[in-house]
Every structure is written in structure tokens, then in C-alpha cells.
Amino acid sequence: MLSQEENDLLTRVGPGTPAGQLLRRYWHVVAAASELTDEKPKKRVRILGENLLLYRNRRGGYGLVAERCSHRGASLYYGFTEDDGIRCAYHGWKYDACGKCVEQPFENPESGFKDKIQHPAYPVEKLGGLLFAYMGPADKKPLWPKWDVLVRLDGVKKVDVCEVLECNWLQAMENSVDPTHTYYLHSHTLKLKGDKDYVPFHYQQLSKIDFELVIQPSWAGIQKQRIFAGDDVPAEAPHPLIFPNILFVPVRTGYAMHFRTPIDDANTQVFQFRFSPTKDGRIADQPEDPPFEFVATKNDDGEFHLNHFASQDHMAWETQGPIADRTCEHLGEGDRGIIMFRKLLREQISALQNGDNLIGVNFDPAQDEMIQLIHAGYDAYSFAAAREREAKLA
């Protein structure tokens, strides 16, 4: 268990908080690019406790700025997107994507007033149909990571935007190093519902769980692997928690990356990016911005329906409370990964405070290349073979 002070240290994400300052040193998914259209090029977003406006200008570029205009505080959501920025609907002040005030229609242009205005703004990059933002100090901005599933063209891409998770980001991330929850939360739940597709390999006898700290120039995190009993049962492919807030996992049709973007202390937005490779390695016929789908985790009564993994996971995370009370928990042997992740998070907060280098950030252009997460090992586990073994056990 943690003290209340430790719990606050790891969970609070607003401006100026230790964890919030750390998270601001990494790129975060703020939207699916296909959420912004010609008809609706703007979206309100709240990230790390800040109310922001995401927009696409008429030239196809993106901006992320504070929602309230620096003039009189009116919402820029109702403003006008133009070729090179966004103009406030109240008095016409116009800002570019860097937050520079480029026009003040009713001010003396010779006064230099507009040059004194710096509206809060953050850089945005698009990759694989996802929009990433960096909200830390400009001089500490790392290169944005080019994950292979986002970069590769030999597969079909899809983005799931999940119903807002009404709890702290850390509850979702701790689940990424909790390999034992899948038995009851996912497999058993789906089996009792009569689902024929209920992840049967989790009914194999679990022999061992391995955790490994991985530190590479382009990414870092904790890799976990379940090893099952039996001579004819292959080990599960290892898949990592990517520090600080990403999970990479092989799925039935390919691979997925789950991005858990903190909205504020008590809310989190989960984006699930899916990549299904083509069988012959050909370039997939797909638009530049893959489609997105809203994933509901609750029914009309506001209760978790538990019909799929997302609803099941959100139930387990959200019912711990807006911020889990870790002062009264009791961790066991199966929770080694959670303990390991908390230790890593504390160490990185200390590293930031001491001015030391952080893990998983890259400033070296020589290392700016596609980050390989997919490798042959991820194809070793056959879901079809798992179902066949389960049928024999039934």
C-alpha cells in the first residue's frame, strides 16, 4: 500500500504537479484525425487539467490552443478557422498555431500590442491518423516516436475512441502490468455470457509470469509475459507497457496500441489504435486518416454492460473510485508488475526534479526512425490453436 502523500504524488496531473510535469515531457494522443472534418474542424479537449481547443485550419494543418481568447476570455470554439490560424468570434483577434497573435482588427497596428500577446499553444503532429500533442517546455520537446503500427502501410488501421473513463489515469496503466486479471474479468465474464469467442487461452494453467524492464533509446517500459503449463503450449508473446501511458498488445487480428491520455485527476480518455497486416504484405487500400468508432462502455442506465474488453476494463478501473485509495490496498505476488511500475514512475519524477535524463524520450535525429514493436515472436501464438486446445479440455 501507499501513503496518501505517495498516492497524490503519482496521480495528480495538473500544471505544476510532479506527475503532471513528468507527463508533459511526453507526446499524448489528443484525438483521432478523422474526428475533425470540413464541417466540424474544431473540438474542445481537456488534457492534463487544461481546457484546450483542437482545430484544423483551412490548409489542413492543426493547432492546439487554450480555449479562452487572451483578449476577453470568449471561447475560441465558436471562432473562425482560417488558412493560417483561428480567429475569435468576439473581436476578431487571430492566433497562429504557435499562439502568436497575428491580427487585432481594432488596435493601432503601429502600437505593437499584438506582438506582446502569447496565447497558450502546443505543437501537434499527425501519425497513423492520430493527433499527438506535446505540452512541456519547448526546449525539452523530444522527437515524436514513430511506432511501427502507426507508420506501416501494409495493413488496415482503425481507431476506437472509448467512452470517457471517469477515473485517474494510473488505474488504467497499472492494469497494463496486471496479467492475472484476464482470467475472471475477461475470459470468465464472456464465457458466462455465452460468448463463443471468450479468449480461451486464459483457461490454460498459468505456470509463470515474467516482467522485464526495457530501456531503449526510442522507448522504455515494462514487458510482461505469461508462460503456460504443458509441453505443447507456446509461451504468450511478450507485450510491453510503454512508459508512461501506452500499452502495446497482440490481438486476434493483428496488433493494438492503447493510449491513456489523462484529462484531469479524475478522468481519462482512452484511444485504441488497431493495425491488421495484409496477408501478402501489400499496401492497404485505406484513406490517410483511418475511420474512428466511438466505443460505449455503459448501457442506457449508466451501468457497465461488460460485453467487451473495454467495458470490462473500465468497470474494474472506474469502480476503484475517481482516484483509487491505495492506502488500504493489499498487494500480492501477482501484483509484482504494479509495484515495479510505481517504482519506475517515482524514479522518473525524481529524475525530472533533479534535472536528470528521462527514459523513453529521444532527442537524437540519428535515432529518429520507425520504432520496431512488432517482431516474429508476436506471431508465435495462434488463437486458432488455443481454441482447439480449449475444445479438447471441455
* DSSP character string of 60-129: S-EEEEESB-TTT--BGGGSEEETTEEE-TTT--EE-TT-BEEE-TTS-TTS--GGG-B--EE-EEEETT
- pLDDT band at 378; cut points 50, 70, 90: very low
Q: Are 348 and 340 in contact (CB under 8 A)?
A: no
Q: Are 142 and 27 in contact (CB under 8 A)?
A: yes
Pairwise CA distance, residues 26 & 221, whole Å: 13
State the first-to-last Cα distance of the chain, in angstroms, to the nearest integer.
39
**What is the CATH number that goes with domain 148-393?**
3.90.380
Q: Which residues contact 254 (CB under 8 A, 6 or more apart)?
A: 155, 274, 275, 276, 277
Q: What letter would DSSP give residue 387?
A: H
| Residue of 300, 317, 298 whose CA lies nearest to 308 | 298
Peptide bond into 244 cis (omega under 30): yes
Pairwise CA distance, residues 389 & 393, whole Å: 6
pLDDT tens for 334-369 read: 899 999 999 999 999 999 999 999 999 999 998 888
Q: How are beta strands 267-277 and 155-162 bridged, if at all?
A: antiparallel
pLDDT tens for 132-162 read: 999 999 999 999 999 999 999 999 999 999 9
Sheet strand arrangement including 101-103: 80-82, 85-87, 94-95, 101-103
pLDDT tens for 47-89 read: 999 999 999 999 999 999 999 999 999 999 999 999 999 999 9
CATH superfamily of 35-140: Rieske [2Fe-2S] iron-sulphur domain (2.102.10.10)
Amino acid at 15: P
Neighbours of 344 (CB within 10 A): 20
Domain boundaries, the chain: 35-140, 148-393
Buried b (16+ CB within 10 A) or exposed e, 164-187: ebbbbbbbbbbbbbbbbebeebbb
pLDDT at residue 200 tops 90: no
**Positive/negative CA dihedral, 364, 369, 371, 372:** negative
pLDDT at residue 234 tops 70: no
- The half-sphere exposure of 103 on its side-chain side, counting CA atoms within 13 A, is 13
- pLDDT band at 226; cut points 50, 70, 90: confident
Cell numbers at residue 201, please? 487461452
Sheet strand arrangement including 42-47: 42-47, 50-56, 62-66, 121-122
